[in-house]
Structures are given as structure tokens and as C-alpha cells.
Amino acid sequence: MGEPHRIGIVGTGWISGAYLETLRDHPAVTIAAVADLDAARAAKVADGIPGCRALPVDDLLNDDSIATILNLTVPAAHAEIASPAIKNGRQVYGEKPLTSEMSTARALLDQAAAQGVAVGCAPDTVLGTGVQTARAAVDAGAIGRPLSAVAVMATPGHERWHHQPDFYYLPGGGPLLDMGPYYLTALVHLLGPIVAVTGAASRLRVSRVISAGPRTGERIPVEVDTHVTGVLHHLGGALSTITTSFDAVRTTAAPIEVHGETGTLEVPDPNHFAGDVRLFSLGGTDWQTLPPSAGYADASRGIGLLDMLTAPTPRASGALALHVLDAMTALLRSAEEGRRITLTTTVERPAALPLIPAAEWRA
């Protein structure tokens, strides 16, 4: 076994804790440094990691001892961090979405290709046993030929729990760009790439009131559509319907259902790594829960980065993230222009995973 792969983390906000659970003690990696605009917060995180340094952002990006940058900044800063990292020859793995607009995302991947470095991107939740077991069932013919899917994400808005929810309601935010990557990435795993989309969107109100934390009662502006729905046309002929909303109180809909000629598959929340996969077969009398048969068992955020370091082709790849971003921005443009839009990208379905026990991927 060689030396552990040295990682530098930019952004030490709430989501960094989930990544640290996976990466802090993993023998394949060393968290060499962290950086944040809030230097005190970065220092606190570094203090909890043996041998880790808290650095200014520019110093971390220019540190030649670091091989990969884990970019956990807000979406508006994704390219601002990733581009200089790539210029310095670093691999980059970032939070979703890849960037907030297609031109920037394309330029980023072109830059990485020219530099010969890999780019990976969340979500990696789809590599867990939930979506991967569902994919294995689809591929094994459990529902016959797939015909359609329905994906639903409905909440009353992140301002009800998030202490700093502003960016969710500014350009680059909204329910589709925030939560859509989980659902669209899962649908690509399940049904293949998307060739065209038709969208519609609305905005319930022009401001929101923060309901948690020290800013409780503060009103913030809403500058994006907060309910987005649409139809995705998959390369294989299946049609997916997706709804993402910050305007709905609650739903009883399954996160994802996939319908085929001989069965329906209920897929668990793609924002989580695991969950029950249920099958209702044509002529059956009840749902059947399928045992986990594929994916990283007991996984948590950061498994996509580990996969990127070991797999011949990263499953949580920049190419897949670009395709998902293409679909999301096309949905928003379709809603604005009132027409079907053909995507400008495609992608291979990521390689399927066998069932990988936690003891194996954590070793």
C-alpha cells in the first residue's frame, strides 16, 4: 500500500461534517489542510484532525503537497475554487451542482482535460445500496422493459431549518439546482442519459421568512422559481416526470417510482445512501422488499471521492454532473420559453456496482 492520498478541503460548513465522517480516519487518504472564509471555523475543524493545517484558501490551492481538492463551497463559488486548483494540477471533487451554469461547467471540464486531471462531483448518494439495488433490479429485468419514472421532492422550504438559507433563493439556487441533482443522477443510473426535456415552473412568493437560528424573523428575497416540474426524455425511450418544490407542505409520493411492462419499482430517497427498494410485480398481490444486492454498504458522503481515486472511470464524474446540469438548466429554460429543449450533452451510464461491504471499502 502506498502513501495515503493527500486531500485539502475548501469549505468547512455544515456539509463538511458528513464528509469528515467518511474521510477523517480512512487509511487511503489524509486530510492535510482545510480552508474557509471563516478562518476560526477552519481552525476548529483542523484541530479535530491529526496533522491537519488550517490555511488561507489561496495557500491551500497552491500547496504542492496536496493532490486533490475537496470543494465544499456554495454553488456560486464552485468554479472559483475548482479552476485555480485544476490550473495547479490538482484533482477536484466537489459538491453538487458542478457549477450553476453550463458555460462555466464546460470550461471547467475542458480545462481539466487539457491539464490531464480528474474532476468528480456529488451526489454520491446514488452509489449506496438504495439506488444501486434498484438499478440492479431494472437491469435484471425485474420490471420488464422500463417505460416511465416519477420523481418527487416536495418541501415547504429550507428557510424553516437552515440558519443561512439566502443562497437557496438567489440565482444558482432553487429546488431544482439544489435537490434535482440527486433525482436526475439517480434517473440516469436507472434509465440512462437524457436527450430532451420539457419544463414548467412557478414562484409562490417574492420573499421568505427565516424560521431558525439567530436570524429568525428576517425576511429574505426570492429571485428564482421555487416549484419546477418537467418531463425527461431518456435515450432508451422511457419518460421521467420530475417535480422539485420549495412550496409544498408534504407529500405521500415515493421519492422515485420506475414503471415497466411487468412491474413497478419503488426507489428510496436518492438524498440517502440506503433504504428499502420495493417491487410490485404484474399479477402480484403486494409489494416485495428486495434485499440489498448492489452498491457501497453503509456508505456516507465522500464515497464518491474514494471511488474516483480507485475506479478506472469515476462513477461520480464531472461528465455525469455536466449532463445533469445540462438537463436542469434546460428544464428551467424550457419553462421560461415554453418549448421542448434538446440537450447538448450525453453520458454513459456509470459502471454498475456489486455489493461492497463496509468492511471492504473502509479498509
Reply yes or no on whether the pLDDT at 240 is more than 60: yes
Taking the C-alpha atoms of residue 245 and residue 107, their distance in angstroms, rounded to an integer, is 30
Res 127 pLDDT > 70: yes
Q: How confident is the model at residue 253 (pLDDT cuts 50, 70, 90)?
A: very high
Residues 319-351: tens digit of each pLDDT: 999 999 999 999 999 999 999 999 999 999 999
pLDDT for the residue 47: 97
Q: pLDDT digits over 194-208, tens only?
A: 999 999 999 999 999
- Can you name the residues that pair with 224 across neighbouring β-strands? none
With a cut of 90, say whether residue 34 has pLDDT above it. yes
Query: C-alpha cell of 147?
Result: 417505460
Q: Residue 172's pLDDT is what?
A: 87
- For residue 238, give the amino acid letter: A
Q: Is the pLDDT of residue 80 over 60?
A: yes
What is the domain partition of the chain in residue ranges? 5-121, 128-295+318-345
pLDDT of 10 > 90? The answer is: yes
- Region 5-121: CATH code: 3.40.50.720
Task: State the average pLDDT for the chain.
Answer: 97
Residue 58: the pLDDT is: 97
Fold of 128-295+318-345: Dihydrodipicolinate Reductase; domain 2 (3.30.360)
